[in-house]
Amino acid sequence: MEEQFILRVPPSVAERIEHLLNENPSSSEDKSLDLSFSEDGRSGTFVIGDDHFPASLLDLPCVVESYKTYDDSCLIKTADIGQMIMVREAGDAAPDVIEYRHGLTPPMRDARKRRFRREPDLNPELVSRVEKDLLKIMAGGTTDNVDILVLSEQEEEGDDNARGANKKAATPPVAKDDVPETVTNAGEPDRSDSEESDDSV
């Protein structure tokens, strides 16, 4: 699979990029096109010609599949795209989140809130306590929050006798005579093999 990303730029920058791609680069005014990121990997600078624009790497709310075709009938999947590089104008504020709120198309507007299942409200203390208990059980120990009830042998025997008194007496199965069951045809007399004849001729 290929490595792909989505580059979202302002309309004025999009026109300049389209002009640069369609014409001969040597005759274009914007001869250089560059993208560099800082150490955090989320913020950077997009350079076209002599102009610098701030850029941000944002996660998309869902994975976008990319396809290509050679004959306009068969589509071939080429990549799964999960991030987008958003180029802003110089005066625009940088986003304070790492996930883009909307998708790429209008139906995916505010997709995380409208279309996806909400995350359950869990108490972090409860989750950490259950995690510790599971680790103790896996190590062969016991948990801290469980009461252990130990019964003596006499109490167990008493419980077994009490259970036995409540059971009904089981009736023994009725003995049957050793008579072989005969299978008869409905209304037809029994015929031996010697009586059968071949009437097919």
**pLDDT attached to residue 4:** 85
Best CA proximity match to 81, nearest among 160, 5, 156: 5
Containing structural domain, residue 96: 6-100
Best CA proximity match to 38, nearest among 60, 13, 56: 56
Q: What distance in Å separates the CA atoms of residue 115 and residue 179, rounded to the nearest whole number?
A: 72
Number of folded domains in the chain? 1
Q: What distance in Å separates the CA atoms of residue 150 and residue 108, rounded to the nearest whole number?
A: 59
**pLDDT attached to residue 70:** 92
**pLDDT attached to residue 87:** 92
Task: Walk along the chain (201 residues) and give the pLDDT tens digit of each residue.
Answer: 678 889 999 988 888 888 888 877 666 566 778 888 888 888 889 988 888 899 999 998 888 899 999 998 999 999 999 899 999 988 888 888 888 888 888 888 888 777 777 777 888 898 898 898 889 888 887 766 666 667 666 665 666 655 555 555 555 565 555 555 555 555 555 555 555 545 544
3-state secondary structure of 65: strand
**pLDDT attached to residue 179:** 55
- With respect to residue 29, please indicate whether it lies within any of the assigned structural domains: yes
CA 169 and chain centroid, separation: 55
- With respect to residue 141, please indicate whether it lies within any of the assigned structural domains: no
Residue 98 per-residue DSSP state: S
- With respect to residue 77, please indicate whether it lies within any of the assigned structural domains: yes
- With respect to residue 44, please indicate whether it lies within any of the assigned structural domains: yes
- With respect to residue 163, please indicate whether it lies within any of the assigned structural domains: no
- With respect to residue 198, please indicate whether it lies within any of the assigned structural domains: no
Q: What distance in Å separates the CA atoms of residue 90 and residue 97, rounded to the nearest whole number?
A: 19
- With respect to residue 14, please indicate whether it lies within any of the assigned structural domains: yes
**pLDDT attached to residue 201:** 46
Q: Which two tokens stand for residue 144?
A: 């801290």
**pLDDT attached to residue 181:** 57
**pLDDT attached to residue 193:** 52
**Torsion angle, alpha carbons of 6, 105, 103, 113, to 10:** 180
Q: CA–CA distance from 95 to each of 8, 21, 56, 98, 176 (Å)?
A: 14, 29, 8, 8, 88
**pLDDT attached to residue 196:** 52
**pLDDT attached to residue 75:** 94
- With respect to residue 132, please indicate whether it lies within any of the assigned structural domains: no
